Amino acid sequence: MNKKQHTGFTLVEVLLVIAIIAILASIVIIAINPAKQLAQARNTQRWSNVNTILNAIHQYAIDNKGAMPVGVATTTKEICANGAITSTCSGASLADLRVLTDNEIYFTAIPGDPTCPTGCNASGLGYTVKKSANGRIVVAAPGAELGETISVTR
């Protein structure tokens, strides 16, 4: 009598391998912590943006014999959004830096916080600017995540 031998995997073996792969994938996802990684990436973008904004303000001052953009005040104000109407930007709570986008010399558009528009004032970019008592310019990102303080002074 001829008996055929079947070679292959049983259902139990296949299920066991799938379970092991699922456990390993869960461990890897927990170790990577994607939410933290995304927050760190947004904070890195914020660092880049505040430096870029501060550099543009200083370049404007150099090109204009030391005069700062009119929107830079001694009180902390959120930077007005690109394309916002003049009456909105000239309010007490927003800094109008649209002069930096005129003729696209310093910016084509002022960079905004990575969480905007949902995490920002409807007319703001999520970054603040002020001129300190000693005349230094401070650009900050109050929406920084993971307890990080993002502020550049020059």
Over residues 38-79, the pLDDT tens digits come to 999 999 999 999 999 999 999 999 999 999 999 999 999 999
d(CA 33, CA 48): 23
d(C-alpha 70, C-alpha 72), whole Å: 6
pLDDT at 123: 85
pTM across the whole model: 0.82
In a domain, 28, yes or no: no
Contact 44, 102 (CB under 8 A): no
- Per-residue pLDDT, 2: 67
Residue with tokens 């999520």: 126
Number of domains in the chain: 1
Distance CA 37, CA 143 (A): 16
Establish if 117 belongs to a structural domain.
yes
Instruction: Measure the CA–CA gap between 42 and 44, rounded to whole angstroms.
Output: 5
Q: Is residue 96 in a domain?
A: yes
Alpha carbons 154 and 149: distance in angstroms, whole number: 16
Residue 60 contacts by C-beta under 8 Å, 6 or more apart in sequence?
Answer: 68, 69, 99, 100, 106
5 domain-assigned = no
In 7-136, the DSSP E strands lie at: 77-80, 94-95, 124-131
Q: Would you state the pLDDT for residue 1?
A: 58
Low-confidence ranges of the chain (pLDDT < 70): 1-2, 119
pLDDT at 77: 94
Is 90 within a domain?
A: yes
Look up the domain containing 130 and give its range.
36-153
Largest Cα–Cα separation, the chain = 104
